[in-house]
């Protein structure tokens, strides 16, 4: 067999159909087979001459303005496929030299005359070579498109978390190289969820697009704005000189996002909270910067939202303290560290005590007695209020069973407890296992519960009502829409917030407000309790304004159930 035929016979393994020996002798037939292969095939003999070029190889090479000539040396041909850039040319030459010298298979890919070509070199018997050529341009373009898409948020077209990470890494590399500082601004939308929940996702999405447009409009071309979560955006501000420019940007964002939007006929207002971390001052690696911006954002939200905060090292310490409190609180129930204190309520007309409010206390092993104001908000945030609240309800019912039979017990119930499905079941079970009649149990809710007013909340309240449990509106007058909430549910009792009682002596309108609420309660058939009564003067005023009940240090501070009996005994019994 000639060298050519031997090569062809070897190459025949690459041809999809088996070649019978009788046709293997026919060069034209074999080339016909090779032409059927999608990839271009070149065969090169031991002397380096091209002995066969299949039709698709010829086509591909002519697309690249290279014409293979038979029996011409192959190396210049392959070198012709060497790419558009000096780097590509060097890479190709290295691969070629390596492959040819060591007779190892080699692959290289080059961009050349707007095409991307993949070439594979295979050594075959007799020091010959087979080269396959494939135009992978369209596959590459699709991959590149998919790659770009994977880095964009489909809704807003903004970079997503992945691309942000890449840009941040690049900015931090620049920082290390040239000292060029940058800033990371973490933006969280305030009040976006209610829009989404009440008006639906299409409106929520349209709003997010408008937010994205506003953010885009406020940055420089060298900055990046990315969407990294439902209503979370990030701006990477590149090449900053000092914090002043970043502060101006943060202020601009808060202002711009807070302006009214018009979405499909709805006038919408939302806000933005912004947390800022600066590199290198607050960190030089991506994770630390993101974490610190997040801590600053948390602070901005705590400080009432609609504002920005720069990271400060003490935020980290505070967050760690919070985590410790959270860990401790998770164990406090099992360790029986919670305790209930009770504060009696006096009915003015009869002069008798009619019940007590249960107020939780935490006897912390190191911190001593912790006020509910210091742990209830966190417990609500992390959902721990549900089991804690359940314990409160059960314990309060048990304790009330030891009191005179006309005394009721009031428990505070948080919004989070209303959201969980267990509240009614818990109350039924607490009443059943303690034996306390339902009419002796009172549930105090704040506007927070009704703020998430939905059918479910009202249904729950009505179910409690049907059981015979009474429902009080707590902290009345401190919220935004106290009056309208009074219409949504027939409360048994209105508790007038302590701040109005405190103002009695100093502000003339305090008196007018208490009188108005007392009158309102009277005409709606609701009991009105003045909270926080501390002095005989306040007591006198409250009586004159027409409140039915009082609660406050003047009657008694909250005390453990064991200390109640002497207090009960000091008042006339019914
Ligand atoms: P609240 O429901 O408005 O409870 C009344 C608060 O006023 C209690 O504070 C009570 O000790 C205090 N207080 C009563 N009389 C006076 C007075 O004459 N002067 C002054 N300055 N204060 C008075 P406390 O016990 O610190 O509770 C604070 C808040 O923590 C409660 O406010 C309530 O919102 C919440 N809380 C307490 N226990 C529970 C509970 O078991 N569950 C839930 N979800 N929240 C609770
Ligand atoms: Ca209360
Ligand atoms: Ca209250």
Q: What are the backbone angles phi and psi of residue 371, rounded to the nearest 5°?
A: -70, 145
**What pLDDT score was predicted for residue 19?**
37
Q: What is the pLDDT of residues 91-128, one digit of tens each?
A: 777 777 777 778 888 887 777 777 888 888 888 887 78
Q: What is the pLDDT of residues 337-390, one digit of tens each?
A: 999 999 999 999 999 999 999 999 999 999 999 999 999 999 998 899 999 999
Residues in the chain: 574
Looking at per-residue confidence, does 15 or 234 come out higher? 234
- Spatial neighbors of 484 by CB under 8 A, at least 6 apart, are none
When mean pLDDT is compared over 2-11, 19-28, 218-227, the highest value belongs to 218-227
Of the ranges 42-56, 162-176, 287-301, 335-349, which one carries the lowest mean pLDDT score? Answer: 42-56
Pocket test for ligand 1, best of 372, 375, 496, 501 (most atoms within 8 A of CB): 372
Over residues 255-270, the mean pLDDT reads 95
Pocket test for ligand 1, best of 338, 342, 396, 412 (most atoms within 8 A of CB): 412
DSSP 479: S
Nearest CA to ligand 1 atom 7: 532
**What pLDDT score was predicted for residue 100?**
74
pLDDT at 26 over 70: no
Q: What is the mean pLDDT of the chain?
A: 89
Indicate which atom in ligand 1 lies nearest the CA of residue 534: 18
Give the number of the ligand closest to the Cα of residue 476: 3
pLDDT at 23 over 60: no
Closest CA to 120 of 137, 132, 111: 132
Binned at pLDDT 50, 70 and 90, residue 3 comes out as: very low
Cα of 162 to ligand 2 centre, how many Å? 47
Nearest CA to ligand 1 atom 4: 359
Cα of 548 to ligand 1 centre, how many Å? 20
Q: What angle do CA 262, 263, 269 make, to 5 degrees?
A: 55
Nearest CA to ligand 1 atom 20: 532
- Domains along the chain? 3-140 (3.30.450.20), 152-311 (3.30.70.270), 343-361+383-569 (3.20.20.450)
Indicate which atom in ligand 1 lies nearest the CA of residue 379: 44
DSSP β-ladder status, 408-412 and 352-364: parallel
Q: Give strand pairing partners of 408.
A: 355
Q: What are the backbone angles phi and psi of residue 382, rounded to the nearest 5°?
A: -100, 10
Cα of 417 to ligand 1 centre, how many Å? 17
Residues with CB under 6 A from ligand 1: 343, 358-360, 371-373, 376, 385, 389, 392, 412, 414, 474-475, 498, 532-534, 552-553, 558
**What pLDDT score was predicted for residue 15?**
39
Cα of 475 to ligand 3 centre, how many Å? 4
Looking at per-residue confidence, does 504 or 359 come out higher? 359
DSSP β-ladder status, 181-190 and 232-240: antiparallel
Closest CA to 252 of 298, 185, 320: 185
Over residues 529-553, the mean pLDDT reads 96
Tokens of 180: 């060029």
Nearest CA to ligand 1 atom 33: 412
Indicate which atom in ligand 1 lies nearest the CA of residue 413: 44
Contact 495, 475 (CB under 8 A): yes
Cα of 484 to ligand 2 centre, how many Å? 20
């Amino acid at each position: 067999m000639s060298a050519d035929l031997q090569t062809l016979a070897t190459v025949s393994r690459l041809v999809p159909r088996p070649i019978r020996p009788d046709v293997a002798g026919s060069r034209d037939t074999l080339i016909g087979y090779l032409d059927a292969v999608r990839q271009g095939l070149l065969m090169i003999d031991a002397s380096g001459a091209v002995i066969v070029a299949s039709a698709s190889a010829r086509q591909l090479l002519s697309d690249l303005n290279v014409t293979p000539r038979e029996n011409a040396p192959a190396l210049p041909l392959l070198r012709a496929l060497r790419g558009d850039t000096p780097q590509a040319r060097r890479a190709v030459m290295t691969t070629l030299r390596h492959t040819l010298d060591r007779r190892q298979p080699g692959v290289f890919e080059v961009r050349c005359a707007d095409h991307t070509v993949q070439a594979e070199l295979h050594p075959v018997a007799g020091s010959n070579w087979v080269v396959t050529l494939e135009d992978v341009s369209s596959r590459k373009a699709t991959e590149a498109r998919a790659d770009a898409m994977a880095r964009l948020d489909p809704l807003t077209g903004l970079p997503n978390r992945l691309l942000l990470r890449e840009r941040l890494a690049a900015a931090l590399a620049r920082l290390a190289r040239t000292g060029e500082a940058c800033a990371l601004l973490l933006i969280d939308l305030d009040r976006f969820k209610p829009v989404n929940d009440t008006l639906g996702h299409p409106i929520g999405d349209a709003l997010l697009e408008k937010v994205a447009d506003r953010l885009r409009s406020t940055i420089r071309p060298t900055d990046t704005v990315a969407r990294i979560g439902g209503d979370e955006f990030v701006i990477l501000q590149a090449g900053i000189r000092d914090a002043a420019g970043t502060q101006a940007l943060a202020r601009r964002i808060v202002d711009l996002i807070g302006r009214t939007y018009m979405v499909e006929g709805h006038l919408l207002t939302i806000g933005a909270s912004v947390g800022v971390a600066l590199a290198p001052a607050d960190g030089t690696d991506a994770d630390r910067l993101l974490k610190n911006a997040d801590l600053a954002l948390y602070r901005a939200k705590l400080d009432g939202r609609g504002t920005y905060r720069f990271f400060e090292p003490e935020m980290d310490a505070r967050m760690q303290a919070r985590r410790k409190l959270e860990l401790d609180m998770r164990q406090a129930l099992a360790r029986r560290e919670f305790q209930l204190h009770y504060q009696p309520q006096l009915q003015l007309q009869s002069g008798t005590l009619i019940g007590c409010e249960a107020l939780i206390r935490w006897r912390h092993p190191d911190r001593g007695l912790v006020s509910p104001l210091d742990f209830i908000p966190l417990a609500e945030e992390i959902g721990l209020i549900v089991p804690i609240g359940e314990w409160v309800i059960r314990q309060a019912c048990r304790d009330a069973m030891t009191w005179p039979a006309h005394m009721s017990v009031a428990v505070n119930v948080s919004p989070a407890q209303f959201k969980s499905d267990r509240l009614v079941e818990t109350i039924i079970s607490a009443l059943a296992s303690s034996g306390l009649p339902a009419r002796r149990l009172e549930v105090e809710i704040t506007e927070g519960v009704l703020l998430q007013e939905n059918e479910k909340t009202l249904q729950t309240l009505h179910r409690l009502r049907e059981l015979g449990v009474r429902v009080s509106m707590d902290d009345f007058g401190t919220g935004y829409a106290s009056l309208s909430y009074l219409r949504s549910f027939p409360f048994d009792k209105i508790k007038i917030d302590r701040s109005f009682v405190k103002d009695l002596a100093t502000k003339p309108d305090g008196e007018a407000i208490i009188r108005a609420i007392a009158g309102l309660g009277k005409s709606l058939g609701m009991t009105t309790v003045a909270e926080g009564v501390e002095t005989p003067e306040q007591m006198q005023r409250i009586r004159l304004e027409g409140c039915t009940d009082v609660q406050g240090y003047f009657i008694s501070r909250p005390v453990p159930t064991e200390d109640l009996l002497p207090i009960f005994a000091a008042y006339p019994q019914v």
